[in-house]
Structure 1
Amino acid sequence: MTVTVYGIPNCDTVKKARAWLDLSGISYTFHDYKKAGADADKLRDWARVAGWEPLLNRAGTTFRKLPESEREGLNETRAITLMAAHPSAIRRPVVEHPGGLLVGFDAAAWGAALR
């Protein structure tokens, strides 16, 4: 099974998710947004699967610190542009796996999807 985890290595949720994968014996590739960035085409693909709103981390510091003009009146196109420019505004982690896409860490959902 090919699993790719997208996130930021120092994010607590990403750390929990990676530890869960390691304990579950699931191998994965890690895509570090800080080093490799976030691809707008990939974000568009994810938005088609999961919707753009679940991908956008409105509760995070990065999003809250953006000027109000960037945060207000978001639609899919503007949100994807924002997330590509500010990868820390993407909910973490995002996992691509053969059966689909997981957004955020939920051990039960991950167990059902990845085992």
Structure 2
Amino acid sequence: MATLYVIKSCDTCRKARKALDEKGIPYQVHDLREDGLSAALLEHLLERVPVLEVLNRRSTTWRNLPEEDKQEIDANKARELIMANPTLLKRPLLDIGDTLRVGYRDGDYDDLKG
């Protein structure tokens, strides 16, 4: 079964959930605020997507970080920041086994079958 990593208050996450529901695709929801983010889960996600690709530099969490934390970002520093602030992950993240889809735009899930 697919897992959709979300923040429940995120409009884009709600759109992604609606798209999956409309296609009849079974999935479980993992809320990054409520359910958290373990180091093992982060590594599981990063096995398929580079850490710098999932670091959300447009989020409120990013904007609220101290300026020194936003300087000289490399993979290790990005991992540390995400572990300390799980809402720095771009979302939604759709884990469908061998593939991890980052973000959502209308039509992104059209190729999935229920």
With normalisation by structure 2, the TM-score equals 0.90
RMSD (CA atoms): 1.4
- Aligned pairs for 1:1-115 within 5 A: 2-112=1-111, 114-115=112-113
Deviation string, structure 1 residues 77-97 (Cα, Å, up to 9, x no partner): 111111111111110011111
* Partner AA of 2:59 in structure 1: G
Distance in 2 (CA, whole Å) between partners of 1:74 and 1:42 is 21
Gaps of 5+ in 2: none
Deviation string, structure 1 residues 26-55 (Cα, Å, up to 9, x no partner): 111000111111122322332332111220
Q: Cα–Cα, structure 1 residues 106 and 99, in superposed 2: closer, same or farther, change >3 Å?
A: farther
- Secondary structure of the equivalent of 1:109? coil
Q: Is the 8 A contact 1:37 1:84 kept in 2?
A: no
Distance in 2 (CA, whole Å) between partners of 1:11 and 1:69 is 27
Compare 32-41 and 11-20 and name the one that shifted more. Answer: 32-41
Q: Is the 8 A contact 2:19 2:109 kept in 1?
A: no
With normalisation by structure 1, the TM-score equals 0.89
Count of residues in Structure 1 that have an aligned counterpart in Structure 2: 113
Q: How far off is 1:107 after superposition? A: 3.9
Q: Is the 8 A contact 2:20 2:109 kept in 1?
A: no
Q: Is the 8 A contact 1:44 1:80 kept in 2?
A: no
Distance in 2 (CA, whole Å) between partners of 1:98 and 1:44 is 14
Which has the higher relative contact order, 1 or 2, with Cα contacts under 8 A spaced 6 or more apart? 2
Whichever structure has more helix as a proportion of its residues is: 1
* Partner AA of 1:81 in structure 2: E
Q: Percent identity?
A: 34
Moved over 6 A (4+): none
Deviation string, structure 1 residues 57-80 (Cα, Å, up to 9, x no partner): 101111011001111111111111
